[in-house]
Structure 1
């Protein structure tokens, strides 16, 4: 049960400290006042949980800082005229620091947070945070012309300057927070906060028009005149996110704890493996991020849940597709896509992507993305190899995430029983029917990532062997493209590389093309001209509409030197792909891994356009 007296005392104790911090962060006193009020409104909204936190002030502080930075829309560094020279000098010095360094410095000097807590709040690794803080301290001392040991004292005049600020009564803050929960909407610079800024109370004129911060007229029937088409941000309650109990039940590990819950406005916003942008839907109406980990245990693992509310069904579908593409085409160095599943019975649509990361320490990443109505949620588990959860359990975790969100005003279908269904990988390469870097297995003894060249029309075919000489440039071939993958700066032989060439033919001709390649390899194996070449067919399946064959070739160049070549050719109806790999001595991929790669090439042909006709 909420305790108003406890909150009121908390509000009186903390508000001035947050105002000093946000004012120094933005140099904009009006924006800072409004941001601090906003943060306390949200704090009362969630007071049942916030009051139980070990450090409630840190929770409110994160929101006050993010609100202040969003609300600060004046000049790059705004100051009032007639400022005390000491205050002006401090703001001038702060304004010369990048925002991340400024925030690091201010959190260090104006709060009691530890460096680890500050690093997490700013969104930086501990080592990076230490470097940023050292740089910020040195630069600020130079700009402010004070020794580093005296930095804290220069903020005293700033504190004295803002101490005279007038604050709305705690009852007004609580009333606004209660209204926020009842309506499930908060206007970004809403009428409640506007009224607080203007008069310190809630005001409605006789005509039913509410004042806004910029004093546009806002009627009960519509939005302000300058933002009539702008969507209202939606309240996404934190208790709609996964509880730690569900994570502990479904993901291996001990000591699971919630490490943070916020709107992901701090730092660069990239908190999950493979994530490419802060939000899948940059125009979302609301967003929350919750992270869990087992830090300090012998089997470290982490779980993240990112949730966004879009403003339309179309935007939500696009958000879902974007989030799926982050994992399906993971750009993290040496991340390999292993499996892709659709998840039936979870929300309106859901997918699960399994990845293996080969950078040390090796890990398994299982990402689930689901959409329920206009809400997209993503759960990502990262665990040591052999300690990962089953895909079934991650699908169930995704279902629990959807069940926590589907009853929200913008929610849709809830979860029943999660059922996994293997599906072709999501197209992510520049040419959708081709392999991408995320498909490629690791190379023994090489710790650098694969890099693909730009796709080109297949006038030549480096994927072919000297035996088959498969030509994808004939007049009847269409959609013919080739691409090579290399590992730059790995000091490998010039001939090292993996090439894929694709093309389309009418189905009968496509079948004949593949059969001709197979026949040439058989003839080559029996030819007196290739006595030094050993050709082994290791995988073969031929059907009416699909073919796959893989060969391992070894050629003796000298008595002491042999050259290996792995090649596979596949067909899916009218679509053909040939994959060839030349290793460099021990820098190779396993035979099983190459066979799996050729199967992946076949799966990706599902996205190939039909052949040209006429």
Structure 2
């Protein structure tokens, strides 16, 4: 049976609860297919359809007077699905079959307007004029976008244009995949929503009556009609009251005027800038910035805005630009401060543990004096051309904002931007918070920002371990690092033939290990990669642990035939230790293997790190020493025994 063309029609009996039940059962499948095709997020789509139908029951008398009640519900469901959907949700689900995944991928390559006109054309029976009106464009624009969308979808999906409707209808989830609530549950929710709205109206009306009634008295200055009914003296029987309805969600406080303005960006980074679009970020996949994992950090938020700015390209004869090429700001409003705190942490996690390929976290700064909490992070995207991102995240009350500036990367690998650049970024973040402080939901505002060095924010279930975003690029290799899942230690893959260190001895707690490889680089040998093992010990035992490894490495050249050991770095400062060696091992008369190993201690937590290069492919000693320092920073997250 087709899920697209049948339409529910209103009758007199349709205004009854039975009529709503019939409407609910008839339209929910079509609306779910449409919202699923629009967003690719089945869970968000089902919730959106459910909530839209709750609103329909709230206004059921008005809805049933419409010629096409379904046309009232559909825009509500579509808007809610886009607001709640996670970007490329289907790409992470194993239960999405290949055909559906291909269809969703093809839809994802269309613009938001193209996707809407395509779905309205093939999954509804709307005429072109009404379809254009629902999308918010002219008929000519709708026809042009439909023609482009049909051609692009057919090309990306590999089907003829005549098969588009069939392919889209095949997305319909199986009945077994979806569990719908009973109609009575939706009607109760809609009735509660109606009572909540009525309560607000009654409060306003009572206030008006009280004001006007205080001016109406008889000659004696009393109100005999009210007194005769026992209302003034409280003798009348109390009217039964219902339990209070849940309060409606707070209104969206965000306004475009609260975001960064063009002159503020020019003030921070002098030059010719163009202000781009300002939107609620409901179009496309919603991924505006590199490392952004989802459309919104707060999927239950009450508002969101995004604005972008672009610098004019320099003339060919001009020196290479060093300032930012783009600046962007996002702002999210949460329902309360607790939700905003979680939104802030989620946003920081996106960048501290960036999952975008070949993006490295270079530095982290704590920003003091800006909002309730603020962090600045520097990232390097190693694609061609390489770019540097300075990302500022701040929270003030129930509002969270992110400011990202992207600029060409310096030639020196791993080089951080100068302090002046970070200070400019911090000042622009402070300006963004000042703008949000014009809104009612703000908390602490911004003064002169002060930057303090900070360890990278904790990421994941085992924040003491390195993540992909910590690893430097491998010269000549364009494929990304991939880390294995952290596991309990049985064998220590970071040990060398000199120390043979284990993390299973008595006293070691919380031991975990993880390895990193580049699986898509077919030219690299299988042994190429990085391994890290961590654990915690009582303080004195942790110091002995490090001393024993150092002693083993110092004597290895004499004691292990065919092994040469060179110490590259050693640092000892109170509770912190760091040592790095280069080992060369003869595996035959004509071939030697050279690799790098480090041991670090942070208080009572210890880690061993080893890197095995290929003959002519390596990250180099300097990058490995920097990585050992990052491992030491992460190690501070290991819980003490």
What TM-score bracket applies, with the shorter chain setting the length?
Answer: 0.5 to 0.7
Note the C-alpha offset of 1:232.
2.1
Alignment partner of 1:422 is 2:449: no
Q: Could you tell me which residue of structure 1 aligns to residue 605 of structure 2? A: 575
Judge conservation of contact 2:154–2:164 (CA < 8 Å) in 1.
no
Judge conservation of contact 2:371–2:445 (CA < 8 Å) in 1.
yes
Q: Distance in 2 between matches of 1:403 and 1:443?
A: 41
TM-aligned CA distance change 1:142 to 1:606, over 3 Å: closer
String of CA shifts for 1:408-457, please: whole Å, max 9, x gaps. 10011111111111111111144111111110011121111111112122
Q: Could you tell me which residue of structure 1 aligns to residue 289 of structure 2? A: 272
Judge conservation of contact 1:440–1:597 (CA < 8 Å) in 2.
yes
2:305 to 288, 310, 315: 288
1:600 to 630, 633, 637: 630
TM-aligned CA distance change 1:142 to 1:465, over 3 Å: closer
Q: Distance in 1 between matches of 2:122 and 2:426?
A: 51
2:205 to 203, 208, 216: 208
2:78 to 37, 62, 69: 69
Note the C-alpha offset of 1:547.
0.6
Judge conservation of contact 2:254–2:305 (CA < 8 Å) in 1.
yes
TM-aligned CA distance change 1:333 to 1:544, over 3 Å: same
Note the C-alpha offset of 1:295.
5.8
TM-aligned CA distance change 1:414 to 1:459, over 3 Å: same
Q: Distance in 2 between matches of 1:501 and 1:114?
A: 60
Judge conservation of contact 2:258–2:438 (CA < 8 Å) in 1.
no
1:487 to 490, 502, 518: 518
1:445 to 460, 463, 476: 476
Note the C-alpha offset of 1:136.
9.8
Judge conservation of contact 2:371–2:443 (CA < 8 Å) in 1.
yes
Judge conservation of contact 1:373–1:406 (CA < 8 Å) in 2.
no
Note the C-alpha offset of 1:294.
2.4
Query: How do 1:105-124 residues align onto structure 2 when only pairs under 5 Å count?
Result: 110=139, 112=141
Alignment partner of 1:585 is 2:615: yes
TM-aligned CA distance change 1:325 to 1:490, over 3 Å: same
String of CA shifts for 1:513-559, please: whole Å, max 9, x gaps. 100100011111233x43x3321111101243111000011223345
Judge conservation of contact 2:556–2:564 (CA < 8 Å) in 1.
no
Query: How do 1:188-337 residues align onto structure 2 when only pairs under 5 Å count?
Result: 208=205, 228-251=246-269, 254-294=271-311, 296-297=313-314, 299=321, 301-337=325-361
Q: Distance in 2 between matches of 1:114 and 1:383?
A: 39
Q: Secondary structure at the match of 1:526?
A: helix
Q: Secondary structure at the match of 2:549?
A: helix
Q: Secondary structure at the match of 1:321?
A: helix
String of CA shifts for 1:437-496, please: whole Å, max 9, x gaps. 110011121111111112122111111110011111112211111111111121221211
TM-aligned CA distance change 1:493 to 1:346, over 3 Å: same
Judge conservation of contact 1:255–1:297 (CA < 8 Å) in 2.
no
Q: Could you tell me which residue of structure 2 aligns to residue 93 of structure 1? A: 122
Q: Distance in 1 between matches of 2:511 and 2:247?
A: 46
Gaps of at least 5 residues in structure 2 are 1-33, 39-48, 56-73, 83-117, 167-192, 208-241, 316-320, 412-416
- Superposition RMSD in Å: 4.1
Gaps of at least 5 residues in structure 1 are 1-24, 35-64, 74-88, 120-126, 146-189, 196-202, 211-223
Q: Kindly tell me the number of residue pairs found equivalent between the two proteins.
A: 460
Q: Distance in 2 between matches of 1:442 and 1:96?
A: 53
String of CA shifts for 1:98-151, please: whole Å, max 9, x gaps. xxxx99x97898355999xx89xxxxxxx9998348679997666799xxxxxx
Q: Distance in 1 between matches of 2:507 and 2:259?
A: 55
Q: Could you tell me which residue of structure 1 aligns to residue 536 of structure 2? A: 504
Q: Secondary structure at the match of 1:607?
A: coil
Q: Could you tell me which residue of structure 2 aligns to residue 368 of structure 1? A: 392
Judge conservation of contact 2:468–2:482 (CA < 8 Å) in 1.
yes
Alignment partner of 1:346 is 2:380: no
Q: Secondary structure at the match of 1:454?
A: coil
Decide which structure has the larger Cα Rg and report it: 2
Q: Distance in 2 between matches of 1:552 and 1:141?
A: 64
